[in-house]
Structure 1
Amino acid sequence: MKVEVETEINRKVEWLKKEQSPDGAWRFYVESGPLSDAYMIILLRSLQIDDEERIRLLAERIARLQEKNGAWKLFHDEAEGHLSATIEAYYALLYAGYKRKDDELMQRAKQFILSKGGLSEASLYTKVLLALTGQYPWPSPMPVPVEALLLPQQFPFHFFDFVGYARVHFAPILVCADRKLVIKTARTPDLSDLYADSSEGNRISDQAELRANEFYRSLLSMIVQGIKHLPFSPWQIHSAALHRAEQFILQRTEPDGTLYSYFTSTFLMIFAWIALGHAKSHPVITRAIRGLENLTCRTNAGIHVQNFTSTVWDTALLSHALQEAGVSPSSPTIQKAGLYLLSRQHQKYGDWRIRNPRVPPGGWGFSDINTINPDIDDTTAALRAIRRFAQNDREHNHAYLASWNRGMNWLLSMQNDNGGWPAFEKNTDKSILDWVPIKGLEEVSTDLSTADLTGRTLEFLGNDAGFTFSHRAVDKGIRWLLRNQEEDGSWDGRWGVSYIYGTWAAITGLTATGVPSRLPAIERAVKWLLSIQNADGGWGESCRSDIEQKYVPLGASTPSQSAWALDALLAVYKRPTAAIDRGMRFLMETSQRDDWTTRYPTGAGLPGGFYFHYHSYRHIWPLLALSRYKKTSINVPQR
Structure 2
Amino acid sequence: MTQIASEAVAVEKLALERAVAHLKSLQTEGGWWKGELETNVTMDAEDLLLREFLGIRSEVDTEEAARWIRSRQREDGTWATFYGGPGDLSTTIEAWVALRLAGDEPDASHMRAAARFVLDRGGVEAGRVFTRIWLALFGLWSWDELPNMPPELIYLPSWFPLNVYDWACWARQTVVPLTIVATLRPVRPLPFGIEELRANPGRERKFVRPWTWSGAFHYLDKTLHTYARLPVQPMRKRAMREAAEWILARQEADGSWGGIQPPWVYSLLALHLLGYPMNHPAVKAGFEGLEGFVIREDTPEGRVRRLEACQSPVWDTGLAAIALSDAGVPADDPALLKATDWLLGEEIRQPGDWAVRRPATPPGGWAFEFANDVYPDTDDTAEVVLALRRVSHPDGPRVKEAIERAVTWSQGMQSADGGWGAFDADNTRTLTMSLPFCDFGAVIDPPSADVTAHVVEMLAAVGLSGGTECRRGVGWLLEAQEEDGSWYGRWGANHVYGTGAVVPALVAAGVPASAEPVRRAVAWLAAHQNPDGGWGEDLRSYRDPAWVGKGDSTASQTAWALMALLAAGERESSGVERGVRWLVQTQREDGGWDEPQFTGTGFPGDFYINYHLYRIVFPVSALGRYLRAEQP
| Same fold flag (TM > 0.5) | yes
Residue 65 to residue 209, structure 1, CA distance change in 2 (3 Å): farther
Identity of aligned residues (%): 34
Question: Do structure 1's residue 533 and structure 2's residue 561 form an aligned pair?
Answer: no
Partner residue in 1 for 2:418: 419
Residue 219 to residue 616, structure 1, CA distance change in 2 (3 Å): same
The 1-side partners of 2:596 and 2:589 are apart by: 10
How far 1:68 moved relative to its partner?
A: 1.7
Partner residue in 2 for 1:15: 22
Partner residue in 1 for 2:47: 40
Question: Do structure 1's residue 611 and structure 2's residue 614 form an aligned pair?
Answer: no
Which of 617, 621, 631 in structure 2 is aligned with 1:620? 617
Partner residue in 2 for 1:192: 195
Q: Cα deviation per residue 1:36-57 (whole Å; 9 max; x = unaligned)? A: 1111122222222243322222
How far 1:423 moved relative to its partner?
A: 0.6
Partner residue in 2 for 1:565: 561
The 1-side partners of 2:212 and 2:560 are apart by: 44
Give the residue type in structure 2 aligned to 1:626. Answer: L
Q: Which runs of 5+ in 1 are unaligned?
A: 227-232
Partner residue in 2 for 1:409: 408
Partner residue in 2 for 1:456: 454
Partner residue in 2 for 1:436: 435
Partner residue in 2 for 1:542: 538
Question: Is the 8 Å Cα contact of residues 501 and 564 (structure 1) preserved in structure 2?
Answer: yes
Question: Do structure 1's residue 521 and structure 2's residue 517 form an aligned pair?
Answer: yes
Residue 554 to residue 56, structure 1, CA distance change in 2 (3 Å): farther
Question: Do structure 1's residue 95 and structure 2's residue 97 form an aligned pair?
Answer: no
Which of 488, 497, 511 in structure 2 is aligned with 1:501? 497
Give the residue type in structure 2 aligned to 1:267. Answer: V
The 1-side partners of 2:67 and 2:223 are apart by: 51
How far 1:554 moved relative to its partner?
A: 4.3
Partner residue in 2 for 1:82: 88
Partner residue in 1 for 2:364: 362
Residue 499 to residue 30, structure 1, CA distance change in 2 (3 Å): same
Question: Do structure 1's residue 585 and structure 2's residue 581 form an aligned pair?
Answer: yes
SS in 2 for 1:573: coil
Partner residue in 2 for 1:466: 463
The 1-side partners of 2:296 and 2:527 are apart by: 38
Partner residue in 2 for 1:340: 342
Residue 608 to residue 388, structure 1, CA distance change in 2 (3 Å): closer
The 2-side partners of 1:536 and 1:623 are apart by: 20
How far 1:563 moved relative to its partner?
A: 0.5
Residue 136 to residue 223, structure 1, CA distance change in 2 (3 Å): closer
Alignment map for 1:271-350 (pairs within 5 Å) = 271-298=269-296, 302-350=304-352
The 2-side partners of 1:611 and 1:520 are apart by: 33
The 1-side partners of 2:406 and 2:330 are apart by: 23
Partner residue in 2 for 1:249: 247
Residue 131 to residue 602, structure 1, CA distance change in 2 (3 Å): same
Residue 272 to residue 48, structure 1, CA distance change in 2 (3 Å): same
The 1-side partners of 2:42 and 2:541 are apart by: 21
SS in 2 for 1:544: helix
Question: Is the 8 Å Cα contact of residues 59 and 92 (structure 1) preserved in structure 2?
Answer: yes
Residue 478 to residue 343, structure 1, CA distance change in 2 (3 Å): same
Compare 170-179 and 571-580 and name the one that shifted more. Answer: 571-580
Question: Do structure 1's residue 488 and structure 2's residue 490 form an aligned pair?
Answer: no
Partner residue in 2 for 1:154: 159
How far 1:612 moved relative to its partner?
A: 0.4
Q: Cα deviation per residue 1:157-189 (whole Å; 9 max; x = unaligned)? A: 42221121110111111111111122335xx53
Give the residue type in structure 1 aligned to 2:627. Answer: K
Structure with higher RCO (Cα < 8 A, 6+ apart): 2
Which of 109, 113, 116 in structure 2 is aligned with 1:104? 109
Question: Is the 8 Å Cα contact of residues 76 and 596 (structure 1) preserved in structure 2?
Answer: no
Question: Do structure 1's residue 602 and structure 2's residue 604 form an aligned pair?
Answer: no
The 2-side partners of 1:596 and 1:104 are apart by: 36
The 1-side partners of 2:148 and 2:58 are apart by: 36
State the TM-score, normalized to the length of structure 2.
Answer: 0.92
The 1-side partners of 2:389 and 2:527 are apart by: 36
Question: Is the 8 Å Cα contact of residues 135 and 192 (structure 1) preserved in structure 2?
Answer: no
The 2-side partners of 1:500 and 1:574 are apart by: 16
Give the residue type in structure 2 aligned to 1:194. Answer: L
How far 1:225 moved relative to its partner?
A: 12
Question: Do structure 1's residue 165 and structure 2's residue 170 form an aligned pair?
Answer: yes
| Root-mean-square deviation over aligned CA pairs | 2.6
Give the residue type in structure 2 aligned to 1:312. Answer: V
Question: Is the 8 Å Cα contact of residues 563 and 621 (structure 1) preserved in structure 2?
Answer: yes
Partner residue in 2 for 1:230: none
How far 1:549 moved relative to its partner?
A: 5.2
The 2-side partners of 1:220 and 1:74 are apart by: 28
Compare 544-553 and 369-378 and name the one that shifted more. Answer: 544-553
Residue 243 to residue 213, structure 1, CA distance change in 2 (3 Å): farther
Q: Cα deviation per residue 1:246-273 (whole Å; 9 max; x = unaligned)? A: 0111111111211111112111112111
Give the residue type in structure 1 aligned to 2:439. Answer: G
Give the residue type in structure 2 aligned to 1:435. Answer: S
How far 1:211 moved relative to its partner?
A: 8.6
Compare 582-591 and 189-198 and name the one that shifted more. Answer: 189-198
Give the residue type in structure 2 aligned to 1:151. Answer: L
Which of 79, 87, 92 in structure 2 is aligned with 1:72? 79
The 2-side partners of 1:449 and 1:604 are apart by: 15
How far 1:2 moved relative to its partner?
A: 1.4
How far 1:553 moved relative to its partner?
A: 4.8
SS in 2 for 1:380: helix
The 1-side partners of 2:94 and 2:145 are apart by: 23
Residue 510 to residue 619, structure 1, CA distance change in 2 (3 Å): same
How far 1:466 moved relative to its partner?
A: 2.3
How far 1:402 moved relative to its partner?
A: 1.5
The 2-side partners of 1:48 and 1:340 are apart by: 39
Q: Cα deviation per residue 1:443-484 (whole Å; 9 max; x = unaligned)? A: 52211111111112212222x21232x321111111111111
Q: Which runs of 5+ in 2 are unaligned?
A: 1-7, 225-230
Question: Is the 8 Å Cα contact of residues 580 and 623 (structure 2) preserved in structure 1?
Answer: yes
The 2-side partners of 1:191 and 1:279 are apart by: 30
The 2-side partners of 1:320 and 1:102 are apart by: 53
How far 1:222 moved relative to its partner?
A: 8.8
Residue 360 to residue 234, structure 1, CA distance change in 2 (3 Å): farther
Question: Is the 8 Å Cα contact of residues 255 and 288 (structure 2) preserved in structure 1?
Answer: yes
SS in 1 for 2:295: strand
Residue 343 to residue 77, structure 1, CA distance change in 2 (3 Å): same
Question: Is the 8 Å Cα contact of residues 255 and 287 (structure 2) preserved in structure 1?
Answer: yes
The 2-side partners of 1:16 and 1:435 are apart by: 45
Compare 65-74 and 334-343 and name the one that shifted more. Answer: 65-74
The 1-side partners of 2:276 and 2:189 are apart by: 17
How far 1:275 moved relative to its partner?
A: 2.2
Question: Do structure 1's residue 134 and structure 2's residue 133 form an aligned pair?
Answer: no
Aligned length: 614
How far 1:623 moved relative to its partner?
A: 0.5
Partner residue in 1 for 2:3: none
Residue 299 to residue 357, structure 1, CA distance change in 2 (3 Å): farther
Question: Is the 8 Å Cα contact of residues 23 and 617 (structure 2) preserved in structure 1?
Answer: no
The 2-side partners of 1:437 and 1:456 are apart by: 34
SS in 2 for 1:266: helix
The 1-side partners of 2:53 and 2:217 are apart by: 35
